[in-house]
Structure 1
Amino acid sequence: MPRAVWLLVIGMAVNVTGNSFLWPLNTIYIHDSLGKSLSVAGIVLMLNSAASVLGNLVGGSLFDRIGGYRSILLGIGIALLALIGLTLWHGWPQYVVFLIIIGFGTGIIFPAMYAMAGSVWEEGGRKAFNAIYVAQNLGVAIGSSLGGIVADYSFQYIFLSNTLLYIVFLLIAVFGYKGMSVQAGKRTASKPAKLSFKNNRNLRALIILSIGYLLCWVAYVQWSTTIAAYTQQINISLTQYSLLWTLNGAFIVLGQPVIQLFIKHFAKTLKIQMMAGIFIFILSFLVASFADAFAGFVAGMVILTIGEMFVWPAVPTVAFDLSPKGREGFYQGIVNSTATGGRMVGPLLGGMLVDLYGMSMLFLVLIGLFILSLFTTVSYDRGLTEGENEA
């Protein structure tokens, strides 16, 4: 990879490591330390996600207007100021206010990082976005594992650790990203005729694809919400459940050579790659629906991880390919806000389904969502193909 992409990868890993000190422990802190109900904690996290959705859209548009360097610095600055505030004042309701601001600031960063990765290494195609995806998961694995250890001493250290890592991220951005801003939103490579922006065909294609992406995230997030609660009911320990996510992060990092080899020989287009991943998602939830012991959930998680390795890096790659010159950030903002929206809606929908109809109905509905996402993935580029034939 080019040096610029390596700097983006390192920055993303540091960014997500810092975030991952905090987000897995938000509910515990709000409930246990601040004395609020789980319902209140859920509302707070939904507000944080809603702010991230807004930040994604703003960050994508800012990338196109002022470049990636300034957009990323703005997002880091907003998040860092809120983190400093959270370190000093983390009572109620200050915690809620700062958490919402953090969500907005970090939301600005992600689409700008993805758009910049695609802009500085266009010839790399999906490799640039896959590298950013792997960096995210490495950060999740490191941050979430260290966060529990740090929290055992004091939650104060959680806030401080997050703040310090964001200062490191700021330094990486200030000294490493400035030269990249020249290329952001100024792609020189000519785009194929079928990807022209005529009659907004590309934007319609992205919206159709994003609907399926949203549905996939609504289902995926159940592993950290409703399925997590279900594992406790069937006497799977918290330690064993946490091990599932450790396995997820490790498999994503270590399994890259095998996945890339498979994609090279059997999933040569991004559409095939995404469709294969969604089928694997369905298999994962089928396995989980019949699991009644830890081994079954391990199998389900391994299959789930393979599926996400196909789908998650492919969608931002398609968004970049669809984007016209000067709109790369806007398209990445749509994709990132869609994923965040799925993470926001998923826990509420899953909880209501389980409360009203039970786990069996939840799994049926989730598999139905994946089937719908298959249809959107198959059909998202149909208008582009028709436009090409008309030409």
Structure 2
Amino acid sequence: MTNQKQTVSLKWLLVGVLITNTAMSFIWPLNTIYLHETLHKSLVIASLVLFFNQFATMLGSLIGGKLFDQWQPYYAILLGISLNIFALGGLIFLHTWPFYAILLILSGFANGISVTCENSLATRVKNRRSSYVFNLLYFAANFGLVFGTLTVGYILPLGIGYVFALTTSIQILFLLVAYKKYNVARSVTENKRNFTGHKGKMTSQILGVLFLTLVCWLVYEQWQSNLSAYMVELGFPVKKYSLLWTLNAVLIVVFQPLVTFFDDWLLKHLRGRLNLGALLLVNSFVILLLPFKHNYLLYLLSMCLLTLGEILLFPGVASFVDLAAPTNLTGYYQGKVQVFSALGKAIGPVFGALIIDNSNYEVLFLVCGLMVLGAELVFSLPLLKKTT
């Protein structure tokens, strides 16, 4: 290939992340409602469709990482976006059962490829540390989610076909951006960088942080699934639950740039950043165990802690893995981050529902907190071994 570069422009990478997350946020809030209310499928069937969607995302992430490292980053991301355009374009006309489920799963697979390639390209931004770039990508992704979820409410009354038409159009715009700006060559340089300085420790470090990622996404998903039912059961209107996610978005927009500003200091204390983020997630569930469950302020405070935790934790994971992995395997390891994230998202709602069915919500909150603490211990094991 001619005119290939070793680096990618931060500006255009952020534009791509903003575009793709705006497009996908038109769809994800509608899936359960559309499957259950319009297609008249049970909540079990709807949950299974979303599970397979996330499973397909995991598979796409693995394949996307391999394609990024062993084929061509440029062609890999173009492939992912093109497959997504095909799937979403099909949904414009084929949004009945079972085509809706099949195309939604294909979209998840395609999105896994393209998101992994985006995160891998973040390590190829010129004159910027990947930790700084990952912070900005997280901000751009969430800004896109806010814009998309606010807009879809005005489009849906026109018909579900219009939602998919707009989503497909935005993905076509993303394809044009990638075609013009993401022409990056495959890296052939191996440079092992890890925190301990011992190559043998690298695998345990990465496995530890990936396990922490899986568990934290699993408990985080309780807020997007089972907590809504809990609050409705307590008599809170749905709009008060939705307001919590507005608060989530506002906090991310306000605090993520602050985290980026202190990137130098946070990078030097990356383990501490991840542990603090996880502890904030733990405390967001501890608060829910307090005997004031009918007080809305309790949920506002819990959401504040949850959001601050995710701001520190999730972008920091990508930075940690990038520093601990060989540069010629960037796509492979960033793909692993996406796989473990998708796995946590996939099993989280089912995991929570099983605990609730067999006990109650308070047990779920306690289990979530203990699981994150256990994952933090696993994450710290390589460091503990080093000091003993």
**Do both share a fold (TM > 0.5)?**
yes
TM-score category (smaller protein): over 0.9
Cα offset, 1:153, TM superposition: 2.4
What residue in structure 1 maps to residue 89 of structure 2?
Answer: 84
Helix, strand or coil for the counterpart of 2:211? helix
Cα offset, 1:226, TM superposition: 0.9
Q: Are the aligned partners of 2:25 and 2:144 in contact in 1 as well (CA < 8 Å)?
A: yes
Specify the code of the residue in structure 1 equivalent to 2:225: T
Q: Which one is further off, 204-213 or 54-63? A: 204-213
What residue in structure 1 maps to residue 280 of structure 2?
Answer: 280
Q: Which residue of 359, 362, 369 maps to 1:360?
A: 362
What residue in structure 2 maps to residue 148 of structure 1?
Answer: 153
Q: Are the aligned partners of 1:60 and 1:108 in contact in 2 as well (CA < 8 Å)?
A: yes
Q: Are the aligned partners of 2:194 and 2:324 in contact in 1 as well (CA < 8 Å)?
A: no
Q: Are the aligned partners of 2:248 and 2:307 in contact in 1 as well (CA < 8 Å)?
A: yes
What residue in structure 2 maps to residue 227 of structure 1?
Answer: 227
Map 1:14-25 to 2 at 5 A: 14-25=19-30
Distance in 2 of aligned mates of 1:194 and 1:262: 20
- The change in CA–CA distance for 1:193 and 1:218 in structure 2 (over 3 A counts) is closer
What residue in structure 2 maps to residue 302 of structure 1?
Answer: 304
Cα offset, 1:309, TM superposition: 0.6
- The change in CA–CA distance for 1:257 and 1:81 in structure 2 (over 3 A counts) is closer
Distance in 2 of aligned mates of 1:108 and 1:203: 23
- The change in CA–CA distance for 1:139 and 1:174 in structure 2 (over 3 A counts) is same
More helix by share: 1
Alignment size in residue pairs = 380
Q: Are the aligned partners of 1:119 and 1:187 in contact in 2 as well (CA < 8 Å)?
A: no
Per-residue deviation, residues 205-243 of structure 1 (Å, max 9, x unmatched): 212221111111110110011111101111211111111
Per-residue deviation, residues 177-226 of structure 1 (Å, max 9, x unmatched): 11xx12x53458x5557677845x42332122211111111101100111
What residue in structure 1 maps to residue 318 of structure 2?
Answer: 316
Cα offset, 1:300, TM superposition: 0.9
What residue in structure 2 maps to residue 376 of structure 1?
Answer: 378
Q: Which one is further off, 155-164 or 263-272? A: 263-272
Distance in 1 of aligned mates of 2:318 and 2:332: 12
Q: Which residue of 138, 163, 179 maps to 1:174?
A: 179
1:62 to 2:67 alignment: yes
What residue in structure 1 maps to residue 4 of structure 2?
Answer: none
Map 1:5-84 to 2 at 5 A: 5-84=10-89
**CA RMSD, Structure 1 to Structure 2 (Å):** 2.2
- The change in CA–CA distance for 1:112 and 1:197 in structure 2 (over 3 A counts) is farther
Q: Are the aligned partners of 2:130 and 2:322 in contact in 1 as well (CA < 8 Å)?
A: no
Identity %: 31
Q: Are the aligned partners of 2:69 and 2:329 in contact in 1 as well (CA < 8 Å)?
A: yes
Per-residue deviation, residues 137-184 of structure 1 (Å, max 9, x unmatched): 111111111112211221111111111110111111111111xx12x5
- The change in CA–CA distance for 1:73 and 1:303 in structure 2 (over 3 A counts) is same
Distance in 1 of aligned mates of 2:367 and 2:195: 35
Per-residue deviation, residues 291-348 of structure 1 (Å, max 9, x unmatched): 4232211111111110111100010111111111310100001111100000000000
Q: Which residue of 293, 296, 312 maps to 2:295?
A: 293
- The change in CA–CA distance for 1:266 and 1:36 in structure 2 (over 3 A counts) is closer
Specify the code of the residue in structure 2 equivalent to 1:338: F
Map 1:107-256 to 2 at 5 A: 107-121=112-126, 123-178=128-183, 181-182=184-185, 184-186=186-188, 191-192=192-193, 198-199=199-200, 201-256=201-256
What residue in structure 1 maps to residue 271 of structure 2?
Answer: 271
Helix, strand or coil for the counterpart of 1:22? coil
Helix, strand or coil for the counterpart of 1:292? coil
Helix, strand or coil for the counterpart of 1:289? coil
Distance in 2 of aligned mates of 1:187 and 1:294: 53
Gaps of 5+ in 1: none
Specify the code of the residue in structure 2 equivalent to 1:270: L
Helix, strand or coil for the counterpart of 1:327? helix
Cα offset, 1:32, TM superposition: 1.2
- The change in CA–CA distance for 1:77 and 1:245 in structure 2 (over 3 A counts) is same
Q: Are the aligned partners of 1:273 and 1:314 in contact in 2 as well (CA < 8 Å)?
A: yes
Distance in 2 of aligned mates of 1:238 and 1:185: 49
Distance in 2 of aligned mates of 1:317 and 1:267: 8
Distance in 2 of aligned mates of 1:110 and 1:168: 16
Distance in 2 of aligned mates of 1:272 and 1:207: 17
What residue in structure 1 maps to residue 100 of structure 2?
Answer: 95
Helix, strand or coil for the counterpart of 2:288? helix
Q: Are the aligned partners of 1:209 and 1:380 in contact in 2 as well (CA < 8 Å)?
A: no
What residue in structure 1 maps to residue 3 of structure 2?
Answer: none
Helix, strand or coil for the counterpart of 1:259? helix
1:105 to 2:110 alignment: yes
Per-residue deviation, residues 11-60 of structure 1 (Å, max 9, x unmatched): 01110111010011001111111111111101111111110010111111
Q: Are the aligned partners of 1:236 and 1:293 in contact in 2 as well (CA < 8 Å)?
A: no
Q: Which one is further off, 266-275 or 347-356? A: 266-275
Per-residue deviation, residues 233-284 of structure 1 (Å, max 9, x unmatched): 1121111111111111121112234434666667841100001111111111
Distance in 2 of aligned mates of 1:261 and 1:117: 18
What residue in structure 1 maps to residue 339 of structure 2?
Answer: 337
- The change in CA–CA distance for 1:263 and 1:303 in structure 2 (over 3 A counts) is farther
TM-score by length of 1: 0.91
TM-score by length of 2: 0.92
Distance in 1 of aligned mates of 2:84 and 2:196: 36
Q: Are the aligned partners of 1:20 and 1:144 in contact in 2 as well (CA < 8 Å)?
A: yes
